[in-house]
Amino acid sequence: MDTAIVDTTLLTFADGSPGVVEEGAVGIEDDELAYVGPAADLDPGDAAEVIDGDGLVTMPGLVDAHVHSKHTLLRGGAQDVPEIEWMNRALGPLSAAATPEDRVAGARLGVLEATLAGATTVGEYADHVGDLVESVYRPFGTRVVAIETINEVREDRSDLGPRDLYEFDRERGEAALTRANALFDDHGDDPLVTPMYGPQALDMISPELLERVHEAAREREALVHMHVAQGEREAIQIEERYGAEETTVSALDDLGVLGPDLLAAHCHGTTPEERARMVEAGASMVGCPSSIGAIDGIVPPMAHFSDLGGTVGLGTDQAPGPGHHDMFRETRTAAILSKTDATDPTAMPAWEALSLATVGGARALGIEDRVGTLEVGKQADVITVDTTAPAVAPTVDRPFHTVVPNLVHSATGREVRDVFVAGERVVADREFLPADAGAIVAEARERATDLFDRAADDWRAAGSELVDHADAGRL
């Protein structure tokens, strides 16, 4: 045995709920969990390393199921603006100034902070996602679901009226599909990389190309991860293209895409009936409450989708708007926003939120056979969390365990002590091992300063409300 964590409190999530085991232990051999159970029944004698788990919770690594990490360089660049401004007038001018190197520097920072806060799997949604796999995920040893964005619409659409149909650039779409297919050749054998198709949204792709993407996904037994029902602009395009009675969900259903190989992000424009249809069809969803709350002022329907029996994962989306990549924070945000959205403090209880962040995300990404729970034979994606830190302490075991509510409602993310991915330790006693964290931050600071400077004129010309706020000294 390579590593044993002993005398620890386990949260296994083996049956979907936390499944607290007091005085538990975990044994890691190579990339797998070799033991999960009572400490008394494990002889760690031959383990190369034994971690004393007193005061620690040991649990599955968190699954951040929907992330655009390149934007971490643009943190603070786009929030507190009307939703209609967010993409085109606030984030857009900054994002357009990013070089490929900036994207990598941003992704490094984003994955660093996600890992320090306990994420072991990231669902990375990007164009040219293979570049990020090579430059960030493989060097860091983070498990990645690599989702290639497939989008046929040109970036600059400022000349179009609100009901003008987007024109599709088939060449752009074909190139993206080719890149997506190549991921399976390039990374098909890498146990830490799971490729996935990312047709961005139904208004951004032609039905013809979507059908080909769907076919390619079925051939490779891969999932299709799509932003679904994101709001008014998308709804107008769908009406214009598919007919006045159609919505994203009904059109996806007609196209045969609404099924078990669809992972739908956000879904805040769906009706309750549409969500029931999605669950019936076997589609999954990922909710990003920090992002959709901050950018749209809307609560994603995670609680309803989950109540219907659907599979739900959580994601941190991107830094501008919601802030940063911390899955503990995301569980807490999912909980409190679901409660206020339903005016019901029992909505999205702590154990459910934490289960979405672990086994829920693993199921949503189609990798639950390997990760998401602590079970013998699964991949050793494991974290320890210090329950003696202020904010989480004290935790008690009788008459009930307070550790789960404390992790969800109280943790800052900085209580994570150790992170293992496939048995490799990437965080030890809060220190990130695969790279120099200080250098990652320093490069991000330097590149962000240059980038914002290069983008300054375009940002000002785009004229979002942030320009006025800056001029008034509020920013």
Among 18, 199, 269, 287, binds its own copies (CB under 8 A): 18
301 vs 294: CA distance, rounded Å:
15
Among 5, 34, 109, 196, binds its own copies (CB under 8 A): 109
CB 347 within 8 A of CB 307: no
Q: Examine residue 140 and tell whether it contacts its own copies (CB under 8 A).
A: no
CB of residue 215 vs its own copies: minimum separation in angstroms? 38
Q: Examine residue 118 and tell whether it contacts its own copies (CB under 8 A).
A: no
Near its own copies in 317-346, by CB under 8 A: 319, 321-324, 326, 329, 332-333, 335-337, 339-346
Separation in Å, CA 412 to CA 42, 57, 327, 386:
32, 15, 10, 11
- Nearest Cα to Cα of residue 2 among 21, 30, 26: 30
Token pair 């091992």 is found at: 433
Q: Examine residue 288 and tell whether it contacts its own copies (CB under 8 A).
A: no
- The three-state secondary structure class of 404 is helix
Q: Examine residue 474 and tell whether it contacts its own copies (CB under 8 A).
A: yes
- The three-state secondary structure class of 324 is coil
Among 47, 112, 132, 267, binds its own copies (CB under 8 A): 112
Q: Examine residue 297 and tell whether it contacts its own copies (CB under 8 A).
A: yes
Q: Examine residue 428 and tell whether it contacts its own copies (CB under 8 A).
A: no
CB of residue 337 vs its own copies: minimum separation in angstroms? 6
Among 45, 221, 394, 429, binds its own copies (CB under 8 A): 394
262 vs 305: CA distance, rounded Å:
14
Draw the binding track, 239-258, toward its own copies (x: CB under 8 A; -: no contact): --------------------
CB of residue 263 vs its own copies: minimum separation in angstroms? 24
Q: Which residues, 6 or more positions from 298, have their beta carbon under 8 angstroms from its beta carbon?
A: 268, 292
Q: Examine residue 100 and tell whether it contacts its own copies (CB under 8 A).
A: no
Among 38, 82, 139, 377, binds its own copies (CB under 8 A): 82
Nearer to its own copies, 43 or 101 (CB): 101
Residues 371, 373, 379, 385: is their CA dihedral positive or negative?
positive
Nearer to its own copies, 63 or 111 (CB): 111
Return the ∠ at Cα 61 (arms to 384 and 148), rounded to 5°: 150
Nearer to its own copies, 284 or 395 (CB): 395
Q: Examine residue 95 and tell whether it contacts its own copies (CB under 8 A).
A: no
- Nearest Cα to Cα of residue 25 among 5, 43, 44, 11: 5
Near its own copies in 403-422, by CB under 8 A: 403-406, 409-410, 412-414
Nearer to its own copies, 318 or 379 (CB): 318
Separation in Å, CA 449 to CA 38, 363, 468:
51, 39, 21
Among 119, 146, 228, 295, binds its own copies (CB under 8 A): 295
Q: Examine residue 9 and tell whether it contacts its own copies (CB under 8 A).
A: no
Near its own copies in 264-283, by CB under 8 A: none
CB of residue 400 vs its own copies: minimum separation in angstroms? 4
Q: Examine residue 21 and tell whether it contacts its own copies (CB under 8 A).
A: no
- Nearest Cα to Cα of residue 241 among 166, 171, 154: 166
401 vs 365: CA distance, rounded Å:
29
Q: Using CB under 8 A, which of the segments 107-115, 164-172, 177-185, 302-310 binds its own copies? A: 107-115
Number of residues lying near its own copies (CB under 8 A) = 99
CB 132 within 8 A of CB 179: no
CB 289 within 8 A of CB 327: no
Q: Examine residue 77 and tell whether it contacts its own copies (CB under 8 A).
A: yes
Among 1, 4, 20, 65, binds its own copies (CB under 8 A): 20
CB of residue 162 vs its own copies: minimum separation in angstroms? 19
Burial class (CB in 10 A: 0-12, 13-18, 19+), 169: middle
CB 72 within 8 A of CB 403: no
CB of residue 430 vs its own copies: minimum separation in angstroms? 11
β-sheet bridge partners, residue 421: 424
**Could you give phi then psi for residue 120, rounded to 5 degrees?**
-115, -20
